[in-house]
Structure 1
Amino acid sequence: MNALGLTQIGLILLCTTTISSLQCNHLPLQQRKVIKKSLQLLDKMGKNFPRQCLREKMSFRFPEQVLKPRQKEIVKVTIEEIFQHIFYIFSKNLTLAAWDGTALEQFQNGLYQQIEQLEACIIKKQTHYFQSKEVNRLKLKKYFQKIDCFLKDKQHNLCSWEISRAEMRRCLQLIDKVIRKLNN
């Protein structure tokens, strides 16, 4: 390869890095937009919370402390982890949910894109972030396992999905609140 070819590759890498870092700098704004859109899609997916499901309410207790670290990178890692769990939950046996399929697909696509963007921006090489991520990962895993077990125990019935949808709404609202604080 000649010097011109190496220069072009260098420029492409520089542009990609610059574009990527620009996207990462604007990530909180993008996340807030995606979360707002995701909340709208959650509303659009189903109708009002069914009355027959009110007596089946369940408290999953989101581990809010995972969203309280001081470093923005740790928060990004945690948010990416939460999005992965939500994506997993909403990729399961949804046949009894009777939700709007288009809204569900758009919701899943938005989560997937957000996961990809976060993964591209997260600094994974530093052990401090890695250790914090592991602690948070275990807390989040336990929380989302409760939801998954609840869905399985209820055989993925309509009420279990509606309760899970309401819980995901709370998760997204908490993330939005944290992102707003990080930007101030």
Structure 2
Amino acid sequence: MASRCILQIALLLSFTTSLSLSYDLLQLQQQQRSSNSACLKLLRQVKGKPEHCQQDRMDFKFPEEIKQPRPFQKEMAALVIQEMLQNIFVIIRKEFSTTVWNKTIVDDLLDKLHQQMDRLKSTILQERPEDTNMTTLRLKSYYWRISRYLTARENSICAWTVVQAELISKFPIINSLTDYFQD
């Protein structure tokens, strides 16, 4: 009789713990989606006329394994999202003084990006699988090409417009990676 009660209590505790973890991941996913939308909205608010800068378009070669990913574990998805957000943050913060973008909007955007990165830290494991290192290396190379492009174009308005469009185009990928949090 006592062992039966202990078994029931153990099952109840594991079920409660499982529900708690699922709720935490669901909450993180909802916060992430909300922040993604806010960042995207802010990024769209900064000035830029893409129709005037078509000749400046460039393929920065975003990593294919992230564009069309195999199913990611939530830790891997969180790591990739954090890497993307961190690089976006660095590009905008480093080069902001040379843009004609509204300072208030950019400050809000940087704040939202920073909040997202902080939230993701709790999901990322310390030990990273080897294929993660290659993925993050490719991401860093992608964002390095964007930064070099801005430098080569002397941070012109058109260069920033192209970069703005490029960054905006990556938020649907961030959203699709956020879907892996519930797995």
> TM over 0.5, yes or no?
yes
> Structure 1's 57 and 132: CA in aligned 2 closer, same or farther, altered over 3 A?
same
Kindly tell me: are residues 39 and 93 of structure 1, through their superposed partners in 2, closer, same or farther at Cα, counting changes over 3 Å? same
Q: Does 1:90 align with 2:89?
A: no
2:10 paired residue number = none
How do 1:63-142 and structure 2 match up within 5 A? 63-66=63-66, 68=69, 69-125=71-127, 129-142=128-141
TM-score scaled to structure 2, two decimals?
0.79
**Correspondence for 1:55:** 55
Partner of 1:45: 46
> Cα–Cα, structure 1 residues 21 and 101, in superposed 2: closer, same or farther, change >3 Å?
farther
C-alpha distance in structure 2 between counterparts of 1:95 and 1:157, whole Å: 12
CA offset at residue 177 of structure 1?
Answer: 2.6
**Would you say the 8 A contact 1:98–1:158 is kept in 2?**
yes
**Where in structure 1 are there 5+ consecutive unaligned residues?**
1-18
Taking the TM superposition and a 5 Å limit, the aligned residue runs for 1:158-177 are: 158-177=157-176
State how many pairs are aligned. Answer: 162
Does the aligned pair in 2 maintain the 1:62–1:171 contact within 8 Å?
no
Q: Distance in 2 between matches of 1:31 and 1:52?
A: 33
Structure ranking higher on relative contact order (CA contacts 8 Å, 6+ apart): 2
Aligned residue for 2:99, secondary structure, equals: coil
Deviation at 1:52, TM superposition (A): 2.9
CA-CA distance at 1:131 after TM superposition: 1.9
Counterpart Cα distance in 1 of 2:47 and 2:175: 21
1:27 matches 2:31: no
Which one has a bigger Cα radius of gyration? 2
Unaligned runs of 5+ residues in structure 2 are 1-19
Q: How far apart in 1 are the matches of 2:51 and 2:73?
A: 42
Read off the aligned partner of 1:137 and give its amino acid letter: T
> How big is the shift at 1:50?
4.3
Are residue 143 (structure 1) and residue 142 (structure 2) matched?
A: yes
State the distance in 2 between where 1:28 and 1:64 align: 24
Q: Look up the SS of the partner of 2:53 in the other structure.
A: helix
For 1:152 and 1:20, how far apart are their aligned partners in 2? 45
Partner amino acid for 2:84?
I
Secondary structure of 1:122's aligned partner: coil
Cα separation, partners in 2 of 1:64 and 1:31, compared to 1, 3 Å? farther
| AA matched with 1:176 | N
State whether residues 124 and 130 of structure 1, in contact with CA within 8 Å, keep that contact through their aligned partners in structure 2: no
Superposition deviation, residue 180 in structure 1: 3.6
Which residue number in structure 2 is paired with residue 6 of structure 1? none
